[in-house]
Structure 1
Amino acid sequence: MTAPLPGKHLLRRGLASIRRMVALHPRSFAVAVVGATVFALATVAGSWALGRVVDRVIVPSFSEQGVGDATVAAALALVLGIGLVRAAGIVVRRVFATITQASVQATLRGQLVERYQVVPYRFHRRRPAGELLSHAGNDVDAATEILGPLPYATGVVVIMVTSALWMVATDPFLSLVGAAVFPTLVVLNLRYQRSVDQPAERAQHELGRTSAVAHESFDGALVVKALGAEAIEGERFGRAAESLRDAKIRVAEIRAGFEAVLDALPALGIVAVLVVGAWRVDAGAISTGTVVAFVSLFTVLVFPLRLIGYLLGELPAAMVGLARVDAVLAEPADPRHAITAPPAAAAARGAAGGARVEIDRLW
């Protein structure tokens, strides 16, 4: 069974699908987002604290007055305190993001199994067991893969907003650097999502097809051997595996090109911060610690900003996986083909410890 490929407005429909999956287990996701927000604020605070340490401890230590022990202890306590808060945010985010992802996977697989039990038998006759296993396995995994790093992505947005406000409040010229780097990163990530859209969709479809062929070969191993069709089955699986390989390579090529640019842009931003910051320090507008703080901030932003590109790259695969799951869930249920226990059997179960199952009107 082939689900329709997502077409235009993928980002908008992808966000709608994410909201739908999050709605299945919103509490654990909300806790993960809170943890990501704490991590984001602590990350920005860590850069701010580093700047304060440079201004209050490191630079004065080279002067004749020196630095008192109390000032050094306060600086250490500040850095360690922010580090502990940041670590706590990371733990909360990761634990509850994993709980959310696993819970949504269990819910979707449960819905699929329930649907398999109530659809007409012609549904099963038209589809091999390998395809049904692929829906409950690979397709569910692909649909929910995006939920794991999603809270982290919300933290990245908080980091960007907080950093922009900090830059504007600190120095207008440094804020121009942030205004040039951050929007450019967003545009590049959106461009990456559009470029990887169709290749990622094709890769997910090829993965489902390859899994279905593999399961069919395992299920029908005795029949294949009896007919002497090993070579035919091997060739069929080989063609599916080659198509999957080509699709995955194409996605990797696009991702490699964009990741190189996404890695280089923050580095260029650091160079710009150093140049502009040195000029502003020489003019007496800002301190050395402020420049160090912003350089630190751009450094720690390299990986989080790449995460947005990763999420946008995973979005097409998630959309395809969820579309394939939805295609099964949309199959009409036929109660005549469900295996049910009548009320009498339910009552007897408590009294005699057994149950009677009746199958009514198979065809």
Structure 2
Amino acid sequence: MSYGRGALLAGADIGTTRDARTLRVGLGVMFRGCAESPVAAAVAIGAGSVNAACMVLAAKAVGWGTEHVVVASFDEGRFLPGAAAAGALFVLAVSLLRILTIIFRGVATGTVQFRNEAETRKAIVRAYLRLGISWHRRRPAGQLVSRAVSDAETAWDPMQHFPFAVGMSVMLLLVMLDIGLIDPWLALVAAILIPLVFAANLLYQRVLAPRARAAQRERALVSGLAHEAVAGRQVIRTLGITDGEITRFAAAADASRAANRRMGNAGAVFDPAIELMPPLAALLILAIGVDRVEGGHLGVGALVEVIYLLITTAIPLNIIARFLGVLPLGVAGHTRVEDVLTATERPAHGHRGADAGPRGASVALEGVGFGYRGSAERAAVRELSLDIRPGAVVAVVGATGAGKSTLLSLLAHLVEADLGVVALNGVDTRQLAPDAVRRDTALVTQNAFLFADTVRANVTLGAQATDADLHRALRIAAADEFVARLPEGPDTVLDADAQLSGGQRQRIALARAVFRRPGLLLLDDATSALDPLVERSVVDALRAEYAGDERRTTVVLVGHRAATVALADTVVFLAGGRVLARGRHAELLDTEPAYAALLGAYRAEDSADTL
């Protein structure tokens, strides 16, 4: 079992966890988590158990000292230094051993907890990268961030108490055994007390479980709204809705506070009641024990040892209560994590390879239909058939909602066709290994994403590259001049201080795709943020690179400006998710009125922009 291998820590039950099953499921999660770090877990649980035994030994030391030092001194009328020294050494040795077990338990527990937490986060991110666009479209980005950060942390919070709680359970068994050997009547009192405390803890867990799930949901909502406030700060300020967003976030924060307070209220009632039980039991033991001492059935030291043990049981009972208190919240966190790890809505893939030939990749679509799941909208594309030869440059044109971006997502195998076949180099993309698609395909979207790293790292993505290779990619994307003017040139870090325009970001993203020399280059309105003059230089560079006789890349681009569309050998005109017409740009202008009207509208827009 391993999050790193995509398995479930919580088992199949966790998705339907209810109050009565939280304990069983949560304990299963803890033991499986320990199995991921067996050595550290064994040290933590072993140290906790030895610590428990030391606490019982401490009680025996107190009882022995009472009997052989205090009572014996009164009987003989003098202080007994030998017995006192032996008792002191006994207590000191036990105390030193307890200190060592606490250190070992703390270090080993942290190792188990934080390793599982890290592996959970890595597994969540791997799942995010495997899952398709349709899955991501239905979930706010802020809540997905919360799954990888807050939920992963909460899921493993109980582990910090688990080895200690196991050790304290061992202590309770040792306490019962020790008291039973001392006096059966006193053992009867202890046998009644400890099950009562466990029953109170189980009731506490049942009350807390639904409150914990509610608190975790509210925490995720707050995280999502905070992410929106940061990501959409410009929109919020420019639209003048700052006060409204503050009010919305404040309401969510208050709801989270109320949910956490309901959890705290449960603890405020149960914790004192649980902690009060051992002292009350000690008073009862004292009342019964005095009579047993007077009857000669029990020694004073033994009575003191039993009372000390019962008072000391407040510690293990408190630890167990603390563990059971955080367990429902941990199970709620695991439930939310599992929602991601068990998601199956991802593009299918196989194990085949399909490298592009020397003149680029070939693409074929046969009767392809696709609609985004969970959407009431009509299909994004339908009955779509295309055959793109290697090295071709194809422009996809259509009005908003025609299916252009969906077509490129199908070609990049970001989504899987509901009907028909999408083939890359003659192989159905569902049979290709993920690396085979990614190695030969590069997609540039109009919303250029850049990492908070240098220009060089953003373009090369860590690959070994010469300055000539980097300069070539920047030149084709018409980014070489403005990059050279940056403070550190291509080694400038693109953080908040490096203020890049949308067009500059697009050109770096384009350079990143070009640098890879892909067999299939997909440009989804990748020059939309460029002014006509800069776009012309980019188009000219792309034409020089990809329109010659020695083509090594197939290009499919979405564009609306005539300069970009004219780069293509063939234009595919989409309408309503279908291919309405195909041909050369000049031919379609003469034969397709809708195409001519669309391109004419964009030309008018561009002319207005240049005034």
TM-score normalised by structure 2 residue count: 0.55
Say whether the 8 Å CA contact 1:105–1:141 is kept in structure 2.
Answer: yes
Aligned to 2:81: 69
Indicate the SS of the match to 1:63: helix
Say whether the 8 Å CA contact 2:275–2:317 is kept in structure 1.
Answer: no
Say whether the 8 Å CA contact 1:6–1:316 is kept in structure 2.
Answer: no
Residue identity matched to 1:23: A
Residue identity matched to 1:42: C
Query: For the residues of structure 2 that align with 1:172 and 1:73, how far apart are their CA atoms?
Result: 32
Aligned to 1:79: 91
Say whether the 8 Å CA contact 2:183–2:298 is kept in structure 1.
Answer: yes
Say whether the 8 Å CA contact 1:200–1:313 is kept in structure 2.
Answer: no
Residue identity matched to 1:6: T
Aligned to 2:120: 108
Say whether the 8 Å CA contact 1:37–1:154 is kept in structure 2.
Answer: yes
TM-score normalised by structure 1 residue count: 0.90
1:175 aligns with 2:190: no
Say whether the 8 Å CA contact 1:174–1:273 is kept in structure 2.
Answer: yes
Q: Relative to structure 2, which stretch is displaced further, 207-216 or 20-29?
A: 20-29
Aligned to 2:60: 48
1:204 aligns with 2:221: no
1:262 aligns with 2:289: no
> What displacement does 1:352 show?
7.5
Query: For the residues of structure 1 that align with 2:518 and 2:119, how far apart are their CA atoms?
Result: 28
Say whether the 8 Å CA contact 2:48–2:164 is kept in structure 1.
Answer: yes
Alignment match of 1:295 (pick from 307, 312, 320) = 307
Aligned to 1:9: 21
Query: For the residues of structure 2 that align with 1:180 and 1:328, how far apart are their CA atoms?
Result: 44
Say whether the 8 Å CA contact 2:30–2:162 is kept in structure 1.
Answer: no
> What displacement does 1:349 show?
6.0
1:119 aligns with 2:125: no
Query: For the residues of structure 2 that align with 1:4 and 1:99, how far apart are their CA atoms?
Result: 27
Residue identity matched to 2:245: E
Residues 302-313 of structure 1: matches in 2 within 5 Å? Answer: 302-313=314-325
Q: Relative to structure 2, which stretch is displaced further, 317-326 or 65-74?
A: 65-74
Say whether the 8 Å CA contact 1:339–1:357 is kept in structure 2.
Answer: no
Gaps of 5+ in 2: 1-13, 350-412, 415-433, 441-461, 470-514, 525-611
Alignment match of 1:90 (pick from 97, 102, 122) = 102
Query: For the residues of structure 1 that align with 2:40 and 2:222, how far apart are their CA atoms?
Result: 34
1:226 aligns with 2:238: yes
> What displacement does 1:282 show?
0.8
> What displacement does 1:106 show?
0.6
Residue identity matched to 2:280: L
Query: For the residues of structure 2 that align with 1:206 and 1:279, how far apart are their CA atoms?
Result: 56
1:140 aligns with 2:164: no
1:235 aligns with 2:251: no
Q: May I ask how many residue pairs the two structures share in their alignment?
A: 357
Indicate the SS of the match to 1:66: coil
Query: For the residues of structure 1 that align with 2:517 and 2:187, how far apart are their CA atoms?
Result: 72
Alignment match of 1:330 (pick from 342, 345, 351) = 342
Query: For the residues of structure 1 that align with 2:209 and 2:126, how far apart are their CA atoms?
Result: 31
Gaps of 5+ in 1: none
Q: Relative to structure 2, which stretch is displaced further, 333-342 or 291-300?
A: 333-342
Q: Relative to structure 2, which stretch is displaced further, 222-231 or 46-55?
A: 222-231
Aligned CA RMSD, in angstroms, stands at 2.6
> What displacement does 1:73 show?
1.9
Query: For the residues of structure 2 that align with 1:166 and 1:60, how far apart are their CA atoms?
Result: 23
Query: Percent identity between the aligned chains?
Result: 31
Deviations 1:31-67 (A, max 9, x none): 1000000000000011011100111112222233534
Residue identity matched to 1:215: H
Change (3 A) 1:62 1:326: same
Aligned to 1:282: 294
> What displacement does 1:13 show?
2.1
Aligned to 2:549: none
Deviations 1:211-232 (A, max 9, x none): 1111221121111112212122
> What displacement does 1:358 show?
5.4
More strand by share: 2
Change (3 A) 1:361 1:280: farther
Residue identity matched to 1:231: D
Residue identity matched to 2:246: G
Query: For the residues of structure 1 that align with 2:466 and 2:316, how far apart are their CA atoms?
Result: 60
Residue identity matched to 2:26: G
> What displacement does 1:297 show?
1.4
Aligned to 2:391: none
Change (3 A) 1:224 1:359: farther
Aligned to 2:111: 99
Query: For the residues of structure 2 that align with 1:133 and 1:301, how far apart are their CA atoms?
Result: 42
Higher relative contact order (CA closer than 8 Å, sequence separation 6+)? 1
Indicate the SS of the match to 1:62: helix
Say whether the 8 Å CA contact 1:339–1:359 is kept in structure 2.
Answer: no
Aligned to 1:154: 166
Deviations 1:137-193 (A, max 9, x none): 110111000000000110111011111111111101111110111111011111111
Residue identity matched to 1:288: V
Query: For the residues of structure 2 that align with 1:316 and 1:287, how far apart are their CA atoms?
Result: 44
Aligned to 1:30: 42
Say whether the 8 Å CA contact 2:147–2:336 is kept in structure 1.
Answer: yes
Indicate the SS of the match to 1:9: helix
Residue identity matched to 2:108: F
Aligned to 2:566: none
Deviations 1:62-81 (A, max 9, x none): 23353443322211111111
Alignment match of 2:328 (pick from 311, 316, 321) = 316
> What displacement does 1:17 show?
2.4
Say whether the 8 Å CA contact 1:31–1:96 is kept in structure 2.
Answer: yes
> What displacement does 1:339 show?
7.4
Residue identity matched to 1:324: R
Query: For the residues of structure 2 that align with 1:27 and 1:361, how far apart are their CA atoms?
Result: 49
Change (3 A) 1:278 1:96: same
